[in-house]
Amino acid sequence: MINLLPKEQKSEISVLRKLVLISIWEILIICFFVSLILIFLLVKVFIESEIKVNEILAKEKEKEISSNRALEEKIENFNLSLSQIYSFYQDQTIFSEILDQIFQKIPEGIYLTNLNISLQEKTLDVSLTGFSPSRELLLSFKENLEKDKKFSNIDFPLETWTKRENISFTVTFKIIR
């Protein structure tokens, strides 16, 4: 291709080309910086959203921890109540067990008509009134009571031993708890 343009026009075209090139480069640089700013804005928005999400999660964890603390306090109070109840019942006298111990000592044929139990600090004072068809059964009852170390101060009045049959008796003794 032959260029027949005068030098002035050639220089104008050259300057114009350079201006177009410079303007293209300027546009590219502006686009680059605009893109960079948009990327930074996007990163900023992303980081802010992550921070808010983490704050919400932290608040939820705090609520969970506080509810766990409240639950732990309830459990501790419950355990304390249970231990108090347990210690209360440990100090109690269970009369069904005491009656069972007494009735195990009574041989067949002896009938009780009255039973008194009074609670002392470490002992129980027991008074029994009953009927025995024979002195041998009554002696067997006395021996049964004397064999057990829980029973002490066993006292049958002397009138009890005067009859051989159809004996109305009274006995007092102590049971060590």
Task: Grade residue 69 by pLDDT with cuts at 50, 70 and 90.
Answer: confident
113/92: higher pLDDT: 113
Question: What's residue 32's pLDDT?
Answer: 96
Q: Which of 174, 167, 175 is nearest to 111 (CA)?
A: 167
Mean pLDDT of the chain: 88
Instruction: Read off the pLDDT of each residue in 150-159 and give the average, rounded to a whole number.
Output: 86
Res 51 pLDDT > 70: yes
Q: How far apart are CA 135 and CA 137, in angstroms?
A: 5
Task: Grade residue 41 by pLDDT with cuts at 50, 70 and 90.
Answer: very high
Question: What's residue 57's pLDDT?
Answer: 93
Instruction: Read off the pLDDT of each residue in 47-64 and give the average, rounded to a whole number.
Output: 93
Determine phi and psi for 21, rounding to 5 degrees: -60, -45
Is the Cβ–Cβ distance between 167 and 132 less than 8 Å? yes
Question: What's residue 34's pLDDT?
Answer: 96
Question: What's residue 15's pLDDT?
Answer: 92
Question: What's residue 102's pLDDT?
Answer: 85
Question: What's residue 1's pLDDT?
Answer: 61
> Any idea of the CA torsion for 85, 89, 90, 91, to the nearest 10 degrees?
110
* 97-127 tens-digit pLDDT: 888 888 888 888 888 899 888 887 778 888 9
HEC secondary structure over the chain: CCCCCCHHHHHHHHHHHHHHHHHHHHHHHHHHHHHHHHHHHHHHHHHHHHHHHHHHHHHHHHHHHHHHHHHHHHHHHHHHHHHHHHHHHHCCCCHHHHHHHHHHHCCCCCEEEEEEEEECCCEEEEEEEEEEEEHHHHHHHHHHHHHCCCEEEEECCHHHHCCCEEEEEEEEEEEEC
Question: What's residue 91's pLDDT?
Answer: 67
Res 142 pLDDT > 80: yes
Task: Grade residue 135 by pLDDT with cuts at 50, 70 and 90.
Answer: confident
Which residues on adjacent β-strands are paired with residue 175? 124, 151
